[in-house]
A = this chain, B = another copy of it.
Amino acid sequence: MQLGLVGLGKMGANMRTRIAAAGHEVVGYDPRSELSDVASLAELVARLEGPRVVWLMVPHGDPTRHSVVELAGLLAKGDVVVDGGNSRFTDDRPNADLLGAKGIGYVDCGVSGGVWGLENGYALMVGGADDDVAKVMPVFDALRPAGPRENGFVHVGPVGAGHYAKMVHNGIEYGLMQAYAEGYELLQAEPLIQDVTGTLKAWTQGTVVRSWLLDLLVRALEEDPELAEISDYTTDSGEGRWTVEEGVRHAVPLHVISAALFARFGSRQESSPALKAVSALRNQFGGHAMVDQQGRTVGETAAPRE
């Protein structure tokens, strides 16, 4: 089949390669003309035969919205737009309604796989109407990992469900990464542990904690055993925040996922206003015995203890 693909950054370009390798024709558009097959969205639409499928791989928020608005004016009844970006699920319903008013279908698709997706396939979480999803299925089959469709592809529910599932996926990812990270920190703090990387590597087979993330952590440590070239400044993609907000909305206790998110927030602070306030309080009620990292009291306190 034909596919219009909007957004040819690294992720989009990789996906294009994988889709084309499955025998489909991909017409790509990107505002960077050196990456683009066509000069405009209008030209992209003109190049496709109906019913058309146009897949957006564009930053979430305004860029995605603008693309949807423009496509609403270009596409025809029976065409389908797929938002494969990391949009918030609450953006999907308005996009679907705008397009739906013209008879154009809308499918939201959470895509997981990162740089490894080109080779391994991308996991796809899809929301939308059955017939819209069906129109895109050949592309989904090209993108997803080889093997049974249900391992790597799911039609989660109506419009919004795909991005919702991807959001939860990323929230879980925050928690998993922080769990490994805390264990790593504890291993490297303990003098008995003379081979941190080797320990993690041993865990990659036969253990309960084996996973792809663990494989990646071992890979990172084999490249840089002290993580000396790595900053602890950790950004967040927005999806961790939305997950916590959904936990709040549904009254679901997300102790672990929120702790992982807050740890990232903390990593970006040069100093913590909150801990300055704690320090200020302690100064107010009198000094404290100093305790070293092993919990031993070191030196006498000049001021009264609390």
Q: Is A210 an interface residue (CB 8 A)?
A: yes
Tell me if B256 and A267 are in contact (CB < 8 A): no
Give this chain's copy count: 4
Tell me if B150 and A202 are in contact (CB < 8 A): yes
Tell me if B150 and A171 are in contact (CB < 8 A): no
Tell me if B212 and A208 are in contact (CB < 8 A): yes
Tell me if A207 and B237 are in contact (CB < 8 A): no
A and B contact pairs by CB, cutoff 8 A, 22 listed: A59-B301, A115-B304, A123-B205, A151-B205, A154-B202, A155-B195, A164-B192, A171-B186, A172-B209, A175-B178, A177-B281, A178-B256, A181-B276, A181-B278, A185-B277, A186-B247, A208-B306, A233-B279, A237-B306, A248-B295, A253-B263, A256-B260
Tell me if B156 and A14 are in contact (CB < 8 A): no
Tell me if B230 and A280 are in contact (CB < 8 A): yes
- Chain B residue with minimal CB distance to A179? B175
Given the complex, which residues of B lie within 8 Å of A153, measured CB to CB? 202
Q: Is A61 an interface residue (CB 8 A)?
A: yes
Tell me if A203 and B249 are in contact (CB < 8 A): no
5 closest residue pairs by CB, A with B? A175-B179, A211-B211, A154-B202, A114-B286, A11-B304
Tell me if A267 and B275 are in contact (CB < 8 A): yes
Tell me if A202 and B277 are in contact (CB < 8 A): no
Q: Is A236 an interface residue (CB 8 A)?
A: yes
Q: Is A78 an interface residue (CB 8 A)?
A: no
Contact of A295 among B201, B241, B294 (CB under 8 A): B241
- Chain B residue with minimal CB distance to A285? B114
Given the complex, which residues of B lie within 8 Å of A286, measured CB to CB? 10-11, 114-116
Contact of A213 among B209, B253, B275 (CB under 8 A): B209
A300 to chain B, nearest CB (A): 6
Docked complex Cα distance between A260 and B272 (Å): 13
Digitize A278-306: 1 where CB-to-B-CB distance is under 8 Å, 0 elsewhere.
Answer: 11111111101111011111001111111
